[in-house]
């Protein structure tokens, strides 16, 4: 199967072939239960992702950016982190959020238009607010890493970003500062081939993982649809980071199966054949095939996962559809710790209180 253009060039780190056969050492340090956990996460994530598409069509969400096809990249990397580690998402990291234990209903408040980027507690979850201004979150993760470094914490900070985001100045400033200060940061790029309608080939003439070398730190390219390979490179990067080895840039090659968001009409810029060809690279099929053939799980387990996921998704749906519009007070309550008199008066005027 010929992978599309954005996979051209340096071959990525790979453990499982698209057809599920192992080409690398599948022992990434996870026991059978943890290996099954990876599949469970991916199945739940995809179910919820598809449900969100439906919720949006039904008017329960305003706009939604689906991540189908990127489950391995997100689950494999998020699963490699410890509770003390921090994660900074873009707007497409719901799968990672689930693995990190973020409450899906609160997370979806954002896409429902109930509140802004950080409706959940970013400190408690160590999962940063949903971040839309692309690449800006990279600098936040580097700042957290600077803090962890000063606290001598045994932890690191990972920032997700896309192939398109990597064209922003903030990518460079954040990556360079991380390298200069040698902080425990992981810059995790999901190269999914597209930035809305713009293919990766129009975002860069090079290979994103190679940029690290120019800034003096290690970079690695991994098959983002191979959850084991993603887990391994992220674990290595995290260990290096926590032990004072500084930052790592990871380029995970994956593919955005859906539209950019529910507001996007992908047929205007890419043909469905491309998407179809990608089915063969599906991260979940690949991993399930291997997991079962390797004897770590049987079809029963898979079925149970699917069923359990279905029930859970139904609960999430119930939770988000039951979410009511917030009171207008919220507009005023958190701009400042102590509302200045001018703002207090505006609050009265607005709420007629």
Ligand X SMILES: Cc1ncc(C[n+]2csc(CCOP(=O)(O)OP(=O)(O)O)c2C)c(N)n1
Residue 116 bears catalytic tag: no
- Given CA atoms 185, 121, 167, 95 in this order, what sign does their dihedral have? positive
Asked if 123 is part of the footprint of other proteins (rule: CB under 8 A), the reply reads yes
Asked if 116 is part of the footprint of other proteins (rule: CB under 8 A), the reply reads yes
Residue 199's SS3 state is strand
Give the closest residue to 135 by CA, choosing from 116, 118, 160. 160
Residue 260 bears catalytic tag: yes
Asked if 133 is part of the footprint of ligand X (rule: CB under 6 A), the reply reads yes
Give the closest residue to 93 by CA, choosing from 292, 299, 252. 252
Q: Hey, what are 185's tokens?
A: 């940061």
The per-residue DSSP string of 96-159 comes to HHHHTT--HHHHHHHHHTSS-S--S-HHHH-BPPP--STTHHHHHHHHHHHHHHHHT-S--EEE
Of residues 41, 92, 111, 286, which one binds ligand X by CB under 6 A?
92
Asked if 162 is part of the footprint of Mg ion (rule: CB under 5 A), the reply reads yes
From residue 144 to residue 183, the character string flagging contacts with ligand X as x (rule: CB under 6 A) and all else as - is ------------------xxxx------------------
Residue 14 bears catalytic tag: no
Site of tokens 């710790």 = 337
Asked if 340 is part of the footprint of other proteins (rule: CB under 8 A), the reply reads yes
- Beta carbon nearer to Mg ion, 74 or 192: 192
Among a second copy, Mg ion, other proteins, none, the one that 322 touches (CB under a kind-dependent 5 to 8 A) is none
Q: Are strands 194-195 and 198-199 parallel, antiparallel or unpaired?
A: antiparallel
Asked if 202 is part of the footprint of a second copy (rule: CB under 8 A), the reply reads yes
Of residues 74, 203, 235, 262, which one binds a second copy by CB under 8 A?
203
Rounded (10°) angle between helices 299-321 and 104-112:
50
Of residues 101, 113, 133, 214, which one binds a second copy by CB under 8 A?
214
Binding segment for a second copy among 29-37, 66-74, 213-221, 334-342 (CB under 8 A)?
Answer: 213-221
Binding segment for ligand X among 81-89, 109-117, 128-136, 178-186 (CB under 6 A)?
Answer: 128-136
Asked if 128 is part of the footprint of other proteins (rule: CB under 8 A), the reply reads yes
Q: Are 122 and 129 in contact (CB under 8 A)?
A: yes
Among other proteins, a second copy, ligand X, none, the one that 207 touches (CB under a kind-dependent 5 to 8 A) is a second copy
Asked if 312 is part of the footprint of other proteins (rule: CB under 8 A), the reply reads no
Asked if 210 is part of the footprint of a second copy (rule: CB under 8 A), the reply reads yes
- Beta carbon nearer to ligand X, 134 or 309: 134
The span from the CA of 8 to the CA of 289, in Å, is 25
Q: Are 240 and 217 in contact (CB under 8 A)?
A: no
Residue 251's SS3 state is strand
Q: Is 126 left (phi over 0), alpha (psi -120 to 50) or beta?
A: left
Residues that bind ligand X (CB under 6 A): 90, 92, 132-134, 162-165, 192, 194-196, 256, 260
Residues that bind a second copy (CB under 8 A): 167-173, 176-177, 179-180, 182, 202-208, 210-217
**What residues act catalytically?**
256, 260, 269
């Amino acid at each position: 199967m010929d992978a599309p253009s954005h996979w051209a060039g340096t071959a990525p780190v790979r453990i499982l072939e698209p057809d599920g056969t192992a080409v690398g050492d599948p022992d990434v340090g996870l026991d059978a239960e943890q290996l099954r956990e990876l599949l469970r996460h991916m199945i739940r994530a995809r179910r919820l992702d598809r449900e969100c598409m439906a919720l949006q069509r039904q008017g329960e969400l305003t706009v939604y950016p689906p991540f189908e096809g990127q489950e391995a990249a997100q689950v494999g990397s998020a699963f490699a982190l410890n509770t003390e580690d921090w994660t900074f998402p873009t707007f497409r990291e719901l799968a990672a959020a689930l693995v990190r234990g973020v409450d899906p209903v609160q997370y979806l408040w954002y896409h429902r238009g109930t509140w802004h980027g950080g409706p959940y507690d970013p400190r408690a979850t160590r999962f940063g607010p949903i971040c839309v201004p692309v690449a800006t979150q990279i600098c936040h993760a580097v700042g957290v890493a600077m803090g962890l470094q000063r606290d001598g914490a045994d932890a690191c900070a990972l920032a997700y970003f896309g192939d398109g985001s990597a064209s922003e100045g903030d990518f460079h400033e954040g990556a360079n500062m991380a390298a200069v200060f040698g902080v425990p940061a992981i810059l995790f790029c999901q190269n999914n081939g597209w930035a809305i309608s713009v293919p990766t080939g129009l975002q860069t003439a090079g290979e994103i993982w190679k940029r690290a070398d120019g800034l003096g730190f290690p970079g690695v390219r991994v098959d983002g649809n191979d959850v084991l390979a993603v887990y391994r490179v992220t674990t290595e990067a995290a260990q290096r980071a926590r032990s004072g080895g500084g930052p790592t840039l990871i380029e995970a090659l994956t593919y955005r199966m859906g539209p950019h968001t529910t507001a996007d009409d992908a047929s205007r810029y890419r043909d469905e054949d491309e998407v179809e060809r990608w089915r063969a690279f599906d991260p979940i099929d690949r991993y399930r095939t291997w997991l079962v053939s390797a004897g770590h799980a049987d079809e029963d387990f898979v079925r149970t996962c699917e069923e359990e996921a279905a029930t859970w998704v139904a609960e999430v749906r119930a939770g988000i559809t039951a979410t009511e519009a917030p009171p207008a007070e919220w507009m005023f309550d958190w701009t400042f710790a102590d509302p200045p008199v001018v703002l207090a008066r505006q609050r009265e005027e607005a709420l007629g209180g």
